[in-house]
Chain A
């Protein structure tokens, strides 16, 4: 068992494809909240396997796509300092700020490092005692425990030159914000399994009930997604709105209690300004008062004057599910993965980047 091939089995996928097509009676708009699902749907060509009644809408769940320019500008301001080594996770390097990106700044000589594991910051901090190491932390509930764990180690080891610029956000808040917008037509959701590994699937129970929408917590392999879509079709036919835990092989109702405890020890909810969606109440995380001495936004001058988003870019509409990447006038022209204007074109998990990479036009 390779843990990959079994979930890409041709016969099972095609059998599920037949069932979905046969049982789809009404149109079903499914928002995949997470960019990872968008990427899988495009990569495996799943839109072509679910029939024409199913319409996938790409949601706000890519940590790169939703990062507002002002936060990137803050990172750029910090990284421009001679006494700073700025560390972050890879894709973030490419996101355009008001005037430049971290990647371009790195090319000009700034010490900016892309890490795979945030814990690498410890080594960098210990090896560079004359520098301030700033971890530009991003991501949803999947990456927040790693940052919390790094904070715990920083406190335990009494490291004095490691600071945190926190940009962690949560999944349920933007889902509610999108559903509260009456112009949005979403009938069901695919919930990201890796978020629920941490949070449990219970985070969706109230959303399913309040908005009367079925939600499937789904893995990222083709079989996971096809099975989840079939469940959503069947729930639509039955008129139910339950939370279906497709990823029961790892996800429980309550999730990873240890990780949740670690997060709440170091962070508390705060409002966050989402690129394209605006400020959403309690949708982000900030460092608790007790550990505020670790907060780079307090320790360093982070004041920036950010430019407004490009008027031509419709990332906000795409993140709300009101437009597809092809609807954007600059898609694939002025805005490409090489020169992204909007953030949805930056990360491989962004809707525009996924469309550009796998399906520039219908084949």
Chain B
């Protein structure tokens, strides 16, 4: 109800009886205007808003994505997430039990990653003014070793992929088009905090990392090629795509390279770190693979070599994903 966002008794009840209980920790329960934190050294700070449809999908929900999204953004620059904020914009009429499910899921991910939700905000807007629920999370993390950034990209670097691609995008698409694909197709939504920490522990110094969310693998590699100006060569046969994702792509005329992921990331490492990095990645996902390398040529292109030896350009995705006609 709108009164849940009105600043009065109902709002206090929603915050104290539901939100504080779910995110319970000593910093949040101080109820100060700002959270008082203990941090030192180099920090990373990130924010993201989540407006996913559907809210619940096979392999996760919006709460899981809202937690993983920001935790992963921090992990990709080599930071260990410590604290998160959680701001909610809720449409009047959105069921409390669904809100509870979403927040419990968000809290579960944070707990498993040793991350605390320390501040937040709740607004309720009239029906029709937002789509059920929008979540914003911001996060602060401590740099584990050295910060990882796009500046690390250089010729000779090996490009690794932490798992198979396109599962999250395919799940969302199948849900939107009301395709009944059973439980086989599952989002890859997960936290990358642990795998990144393991990489550093194993002595791997990542040159660059990026989770392949909206725009998928293709968007990440094109961004890297554009920023570094170097060509990137990847080989189709080493990029893992599940049969279910391949099937959805065939049906709709999409490319798995362009579909979103929520727990798969791309990693550039020095050639000497390649095997060590792969070993760590495969502990978390057996589909992790070496997919290519950064070339010396400076044309900012992503070149995809297929199994027949033909080379094509992998363009960055453009516009909204629309199914083909026939």
Contacts and interface: CB of A to CB of B under 8 A. Distances in A.
Interface of A: 2, 4, 8, 10, 13-14, 17, 36, 42-46, 48-49, 63-64, 89-94, 114, 116, 138-140, 142-143, 194, 222, 336-338, 347-349, 356-360, 363
Contacts of B250: 4
Interface stretch (B127-135, B269-277, B310-318): B310-318
Contacts of B243: 2
B325 A347 contact: yes
Given A116-B177, A338-B318, A63 B310 contact: no
Contact of B310 (A8, A36, A49, A92): A49
B319 A89 contact: no
B308 A91 contact: no
A348 B258 CA distance: 13
Contacts of B308: 10, 13-14, 17, 44-45, 49, 222
A42 B325 contact: no
Given A36-B326, A45-B310, A64-B325, 18 more contacts: A2-B247, A10-B307, A14-B308, A49-B308, A91-B322, A91-B324, A138-B325, A194-B326, A336-B318, A338-B319, A347-B324, A348-B253, A348-B324, A349-B325, A356-B315, A357-B313, A363-B303, A363-B312
B323 interface: yes
A44 B310 contact: yes
Interface of B: 177, 243, 246-247, 250, 252-253, 301, 303, 306-313, 315, 318-319, 322-326
A337 B321 CA distance: 12
B326 A4 contact: no
Contact of A363 (B177, B253, B307, B313): B313
A360 B311 CA distance: 12
B325 A92 contact: yes
B246 A4 contact: yes
Contact of B325 (A8, A17, A46, A139): A139
Main secondary structure of the interface of B (DSSP, over half): loop
25 contacts: A2-B247, A4-B246, A10-B308, A17-B308, A48-B310, A48-B311, A49-B308, A64-B325, A89-B325, A90-B322, A90-B325, A91-B324, A92-B325, A93-B322, A94-B322, A114-B323, A143-B326, A194-B326, A222-B308, A348-B324, A349-B324, A356-B315, A359-B313, A360-B315, A363-B313
Q: Closest 5 CB pairs between A and B?
A: A45-B310, A90-B322, A142-B326, A358-B312, A363-B311
Contact of A357 (B252, B315, B322): B315
Contacts, number: 86
Contacts of B310: 44-46, 48-49
A17 B192 CA distance: 43
Contacts of A17: 308
Contacts of A91: 322, 324-325
B166 to A, nearest CB: 14
Given A44-B308, A44-B310, A49-B308, A94 B319 contact: yes
A179 to B, nearest CB: 23
Contacts of A2: 243, 246-247
A139 B313 contact: no
Given A44-B310, A48-B310, A358 B325 contact: no
Given A359-B312, A359-B313, A363-B313, A45 B306 contact: yes
A352 to B, nearest CB: 13
Contacts of A63: 325-326
Contacts of A142: 326
Given A43-B312, A44-B306, A356-B315, A116 B246 contact: no
A116 B248 CA distance: 13
Contacts of A8: 307
Contact of A139 (B246, B247, B303, B326): B326
A235 B250 CA distance: 31
A295 B314 CA distance: 43
A208 to B, nearest CB: 23
Contacts of A358: 312-313, 315
Nearest to B249: A4
Contacts of A138: 325
B252 to A, nearest CB: 8
A89 B106 CA distance: 37
Nearest to B250: A4
Contacts of A10: 307-308
A143 B311 contact: no
Nearest to A10: B307
A49 B311 CA distance: 11
B322 A140 contact: no
A347 B315 CA distance: 15
B317 to A, nearest CB: 10
B312 A42 contact: yes
Nearest to B303: A363
A93 B306 CA distance: 31
Nearest to A17: B308
Contacts of A338: 318-319
A237 to B, nearest CB: 24
B75 to A, nearest CB: 31
A194 B324 CA distance: 14
A17 to B, nearest CB: 7
A220 to B, nearest CB: 10
Nearest to A361: B313
Nearest to A362: B311
Given A2-B243, A348-B253, A114 B312 contact: no
Nearest to A47: B310
A363 B311 CA distance: 7
A169 to B, nearest CB: 12
Contacts of B253: 348
A337 B318 contact: yes
A4 B325 CA distance: 20
A135 B307 CA distance: 42
B238 to A, nearest CB: 14
A91 B322 CA distance: 6
B313 A360 contact: yes
